[in-house]
Amino acid sequence: TGKEKWPRGDEETWKAGLRSVDADVNDITKSIVHHIQTSLARQAYNIDNLGAYQATALAAREDLIINWNQTQMTYTRKQPKRAYYLSLEFLMGRTLDNALLNLGLKEKFETGLDKLGFTLEDVLDSERDAALGNGGLGRLAACYVDSGATCEIPLWGYGLRYHYGMFQQLIAPDGSQLEAPDPWLDNSNPWEIPRLDVTADVRFGGHAEKLDKGRGIWSGGQEVLAVAYDCPIPGSDTKSTNNIRFWSARPRRGFDLQSFNAGDYDRAVETSNSAANITNVLYPNDNHYAGKSLRLQQQYFWCAASLSDIMRRFKNTGQPISEFPNHVVIQLNDTHPTLAIPELMRILVDEEEVPWDDAWQIVTRTFAFTNHTVLPEALEKWPVSLFQQLLPRHLQIIYDLNWTFLQSVERKFPGDVDKMARMSLIEEGHGQQIRMANLAVLGSFKVNGVAELHSELVRTTILKDFVDFFGVDKFRNVTNGITPRRWLDQCNPALSNLITETLGSRAWLKDLYLLKGLLEHESDPTFQKKWAAAKANNKERLAKYIKNTLGVTVDSKAMFDIQVKRIHEYKRQSLNILGVIHRYLTIKAMSPEERTKVTPRVVLFAGKAAPGYWMAKLIIRLIVNVGKVINADPDAKGILTVLFLPDYSVSLAELLIPASDISEHISTAGTEASGTSNMKFCLNGGLLLGTVDGANIEIAEEVGEENVFFFGHLTPAVEELRYQHRYHPMPVEKKSPALAAVLEDIMSGRYGDASIWEPFVNTIRQGDYYLISDDFDSYLQAQKMVDEAYTKDPQQWIKKSIQTTAKMGKFSSDRAIMTYAEEIWNIETLKIN
Ligand code: NTF
């Protein structure tokens, strides 16, 4: 109303003390110098780039916090329905550049830093990535919170504050991946605000007792303290600033005093260590379930702390508990947070004394679940024995839910015991296991996949029984998206400036469909030239990085062909490197005269392999060693360069993606749920070479089939082909002589002893689960078309590039987050003044 009473002290004095929100360059330099002096205890004589970064971040953070406060106060006053995104991974990358752009303060900071004797570029480069995620799933969460704030949706993230993020990747002299820890908090993190006042107690172990009417009591065991660290998430060109709350584990009462007094110092320290261990490290598996007890502890710790926080906030509204689902919606990012379902049940039934059936109504109106993979090896199943030990009360609740659930399945499909067995929350057999996906579906009101094809596969394969039971309306699609702020404006200033200059404003950054306006200019030679110049500029920037880090000179005039993503057999980096060897053999067989007609290529790979994924590591080793041979061969000089760039990260992606002419997204059909880097490359005007899989399909629909290079078998063929491989195998020599020659070349010892590569070659010769041999020839054909399109008509290529960018509007994460808000969360936007 504006007439509310000032809550404390003298209003004028308070207001005079508030920091100004429209800072000029002078305010900014003052603030930076102030932080250099009083936060870092340094001065002009002993400040370096890292220090300048820290002071700059602290200065920018002030603006974020002012907006953050305003946003949170508005939420508290207006009590909108709020959405919570529970994700074990937030792959944030760097923050400073993004914050300055979103605040609209980048230029002023640049000028200010210049006056203080620093370049903004060096300062930005001093920031260390926050790598609290593995790959697509974690980066998606980061894009979604960016869009939530930008679209002014009351959306918070909840995650874990790992002390060690994604490991650092080193490449040994023999080409193998080595892992080093990533102690990312060592230089302190200016973007987090420790909330030592915001805590939750989380219990593990002990015993559970059942009372009447489904209620229970859980006691004993060990309590761990969760402490909140808040990370402000600014929207673009709005005050709306949301939050990710990261939990950190601490021992409940310092040392275990009893053991301490008994003189058992070691044991005392051990207990305290074990509590803090919970948030020590991110599990480095992508699309793979490993079943580690500490991981289950992480999941429960995070779910319990987040729900207690959400419940406390809900109770502050003064609403009756039955209103909970009208105020709160919780999105489960994959099955990792599924424990939130029995945990909310436990809180409602055991603590709030809500009758069991009413509680289940509340729970099933609160949660929605996103599935991100159909790969069977990624499905989470926890041993019942582990639950018995760590979460005895939750086990009881799950058994009770399952009992009622299976009865209703029996009523709907009488006598279908196979169906019951498949749908049960418990998998029987050598040691019972809890199926987290089944529990997530049962406890959620909506379930979605992340691209059209993937959502259809979810409905017709892994969750078919549940579709039959609940009806198809519960199962939706929300195609993934990416934030155009980071993935074009921030990472590609050359192109972003050209687009803004051409369209006449920056509005496209918040309404990506406006890029369509570029089509008007696609045939304008001046515009085409500028477009090509932006790409050339980005390729030179990358070439410089490669020179500085690997000492290798690459020709920035060559075609840049890039495949960057986690190393996984289903993503088929193997297909790419086999194709490279084929290209190399072809070049070797040419006369010097013929070689002058070859389209020069630089083939770049980057990505991490899970430390326990032996075959993925072998594939890295092969790529590195093939690169060594080719790059040293005078016959290939100037026409083929192959490099593996170590330690792929968000920051490295920001350098690579704007520099691609073509990028590869070549998964076996039906295996890549969506992919999101495909969207990033296309948004930056790189063309796509891919299989008919995941979001590639929708990208082709948008940009036009004529602008993508598709190849390979389609999803429906995959099962049949695998069957043939098993029961009617055909030798590679017969199926693809080209591939046979490549495998033979590998086994010749050219890239190192054959015994090293034999296990890899055998995966293709025997079984070939990912259908390399089936897709190899059509892959080569597609590559040939890429070569021809690039060389024969460069102007046409530029036009394709312009058209691709112009038609990528659909893939903004703003569209995706608005779809969640409108179709799943039933939530409204809220303007912050
Ligand atoms: C990944 N899934 C998928 O493999 C990608 O295709 C997709 O783009 C991203 O999710 C985001 O939706 C996973 O990381 C996981 F964990 F589900 F396997």
Q: pLDDT by residue (tens digit) across 778-807?
A: 999 999 999 999 999 999 999 999 999 999
Assign 564 a pLDDT band (cuts: 50, 70, 90). very high
Name the active-site residue from 565, 601, 713, 807: 565
535 is a catalytic site residue: no
Say if the ipTM goes beyond 0.95.
Answer: yes
- Contact 241/250 with Cβ under 8 angstroms? no
Whether ligand 1 lies within 6 angstroms of the CB of 373 is answered as: yes
Residues facing residue 554 across a β-bridge: none
Output DSSP code: residue 19: P
Ligand 1 pocket check for 137: Cβ under 6 Å:
yes
Q: Is the CB of 694 under 6 A from ligand 1?
A: yes
Bridge-partner residues for 231, per DSSP?
244
Q: Can you give the pLDDT at residue 1?
A: 47
Phi–psi pair at 736, nearest 5 degrees: -145, 95
User: What is the predicted pLDDT for the residue at 699?
Assistant: 99
Ligand 1 proximity of 458 Cβ (cutoff 6 Å): no
Q: Is the pLDDT of residue 271 over 90?
A: no
Tell me how far apart the alpha carbons of residues 518 and 506 are, in angstroms, rounded to a whole number: 13
Pocket test for ligand 1, best of 137, 380, 565 (most atoms within 8 A of CB): 137
End-to-end alpha-carbon separation of the chain, Å? 13
pLDDT band (50, 70, 90) for residue 272 = confident
Q: Mean pLDDT over all residues of the chain?
A: 96
pLDDT at 677 over 50: yes
Quote the ligand 1 centre to 158 CA distance (angstroms).
18
- Is a pLDDT exceeding 80 seen at residue 266? no
Say whether 566 is catalytic. Answer: yes
Q: Where are the alpha helices (DSSP H) in 366-512?
A: 384-390, 392-412, 417-423, 436-442, 452-457, 464-470, 484, 493-503
Cα–Cα dist 311/322, whole Å: 12
Which pTM does this prediction carry? 0.97
| Those residues with Cβ within 8 angstroms of residue 544's Cβ, 6 or more apart along the chain or in another chain | none
pLDDT on residue 5 = 83
Q: Per-residue pLDDT tens for 628-658?
A: 999 999 999 999 999 999 999 999 999 999 9
Whether 680 is catalytic is yes
629 Cα to the center of ligand 1, angstroms: 34
> Which CATH class name applies to 79-94+129-479+818-825?
alpha beta
pLDDT at position 11 is 87
Q: Tell me whether residue 676 is one of the annotated catalytic residues.
A: yes
CA angle 164, 390, 402 (to 5 degrees): 115
Looking at 3.40.50.2000, 3.30.470.30, 2.60.40.1660, 3.30.565.10, the CATH number of the domain 491-811 comes to: 3.40.50.2000
Q: Which atom of ligand 1 is nearest to the CA of 135?
A: 14
Ligand 1: nearest atom to the Cα of 672: 6
E-assigned strand segments in 99-251 = 130-132, 155-160, 168-171, 177-180, 193-204, 207-210, 216-219, 222-234, 241-251
Specify the residue with its C-alpha closest to ligand 1, atom 15: 287
E-only strand ranges, 205-254: 207-210, 216-219, 222-234, 241-251
Instruction: Please indicate whether residue 478, judged by its CB atom, sits closer than 6 Å to ligand 1.
Output: no
Query: For residue 496, which phi and psi values (nearest 5 degrees)?
Result: -60, -45
Which regions of the chain carry the CATH code 3.40.50.2000? 79-94+129-479+818-825, 491-811
Q: How confident is the model at residue 15 (pLDDT cuts 50, 70, 90)?
A: confident
State yes or no: pLDDT of 63 exceeds 70. Answer: yes
For residues 396-401, give the mean pLDDT: 98
Tokens 């973007």 appear where? Answer: 191
Per-residue pLDDT reduced to its tens digit, 162-185:
999 999 999 999 999 999 999 999
pLDDT at 264: 76
User: Which residue's CA is minimally distant from atom 14 of ligand 1?
Assistant: 137
Query: Where does the pLDDT of residue 261 fall: very low under 50, low under 70, confident under 90, or very high at 90 and above?
Result: low
Residue 254: pLDDT band (50, 70, 90) is: low
Per cent of the chain over pLDDT 70 is 98
Q: Which of the residues 566, 665, 800, 815 is marked catalytic?
A: 566
Confirm or reject: Cβ of 335 under 6 Å from ligand 1. no
Distance from C-alpha of 111 to C-alpha of 108, rounded to nearest angstrom: 5
Mean pLDDT of 506-511: 98
Ligand 1 atom with the shortest distance to the CA of 371: 17
Ligand 1 mean position to 651 CA, how many Å?
Answer: 20
**Residue 259: pLDDT above 70?**
no
The pair of three-digit structure tokens given for residue 677, joined into one six-digit string: 């880097």
Ligand 1 centroid from CA 581, angstroms? 29
Query: Ligand 1 mean position to 440 CA, how many Å?
Result: 17
Which two three-digit tokens encode residue 694?
A: 């995941």
Which ligand 1 atom is nearest residue 378's CA? 18
pLDDT in tens, 279-316: 999 999 999 999 999 999 999 999 999 999 999 999 99
pLDDT higher than threshold 90 for residue 4: no
696 close to 690: Cβ distance less than 8 angstroms: yes
What pLDDT score was predicted for residue 528? 98
Q: Tokens 């780039």 sit at which residue?
A: 49
